[in-house]
Amino acid sequence: MPKAVIVATGLYTPPFSVSNTELVEAFNTYVERFNAAHAEAIAAGEITALAPSSPEFIEKASGIKARYVMNKTGIVDPEVMRPILPERPNEEISILAEMAVEAARQAIERWGKPASEIGAVICAASNMQRAYPAMAIEVQQALGIDGFAFDMNVACSSATFGIKTAADFIATGSAKAVLMVNPEICSGHLNFTDRDSHFIFGDVATAVILEDESQASGGWEILGTRLKTQFSNNIRNNFGFLNRTAPEGIGAKDKLFVQEGRKVFREVVPMVSEMIVEHAGDIGVEPTGLKRLWLHQANINMNEMIGRKVLGRDPQPGENVIILDTYANTSSAGSIIAFHTASDDFAPGETGLICSFGAGYSAGTVFVRKR
């Protein structure tokens, strides 16, 4: 049975960065205006006054210092508090597909082979900007790829689920090479008026190419993949096509990202840590021998705790890659950004772990070894 190899990755970084200071300035102005406009109701106890935030609070709670976005002006405007991304005509490539294509082209260039040798495209992300046609098919068309393409959504775990799916296509002979893209405009589903979450997400796109090892040069051997899901309402987004059938709920807070952060931390950290250790044992990999962890970039405190549980000690600098300080949480793309930016120094035979986790709950592990 053919085996898949990860042969190239790509990264598209949006042109605008928003610092915590900029984000807080807009948020606190919004809070002041809201409280002033609702002063009587607040005094009467009918509604609760909003509390201001600070850059220090954000960094301590998350490790995030800044984030990249596709539109900055709307986000930092207290009268708007959302990105402004005008609709495009159907004849023009959609913004999500455009981001994916940029990341894919970088991966294809690093691969060194023509896009025509790719047989399948998977768009694996936490949000698609439309129901159909599939974003992946638009990406396929833009790159001139034959074969087939489809979208998949497993929230923040979409990339590892996509890698597993791509590897299975190669193993069964359905394709000799597969492109997986992870375009994320997370700012579009973020409530910038919510103190507990307005700082969490950023925008980005990543790409991964997997190829049949019989024709691949270099790259990363996949030692094992494992997927896990467990239903939870603690991370949720109720936006969907049926919203119009219940107009009273349109615009409600639950139509954007909502979470019970403390519950997520308590439940996801042990689930993911145990999954990693068990998977490593099953495939004969010693966790303490891993050179590097490329984890989902949700929260620095969460990643540090998972790193300690997996390695059995505090990770040394460079062992547990952190990119969320500048990119924030980029959902499905986070672990791939970490892998893309911190893997070139591996020698043949050295091993690492790509791991993602998030809403669902969902989690995926991909152990790799440099060829």
Return the active site residues: 156
Say whether 150 sits in a helix, a strand or coil.
strand
280: nearest Cα among 181, 177, 352, 174: 352
Say whether 341 sits in a helix, a strand or coil.
helix
Phi-psi region of 128 (alpha: psi -120 to 50; beta: other; left: phi over 0): beta
Q: Using CA atoms, how far apart are residues 165 and 171, in angstroms rounded to an integer?
A: 10
Token code pair at residue 169: 């296509």
Q: Using CA atoms, how far apart are residues 263 and 23, in angstroms rounded to an integer?
A: 26
4-12 and 220-229 beta bridge pairing:
antiparallel
Instruction: Please list the helix, strand and coil fractions of the chain in percent, rounded to the nearest 5, in that order.
Output: 40, 25, 40
Spell 125-152 as b/e; 16+ CB within 10 A means b.
bbbbbeeeebbbbbbbebbebebebebb
Q: Using CA atoms, how far apart are residues 367 and 371, in angstroms rounded to an integer?
A: 13
Only one residue has tokens 């809070």, namely 31
Q: What DSSP state is assigned to residue 92?
A: S
Q: Using CA atoms, how far apart are residues 152 and 255, in angstroms rounded to an integer?
A: 20
Contact criterion met (CB below 8 Å) for 144 and 338? no
187: nearest Cα among 171, 204, 209, 172: 204
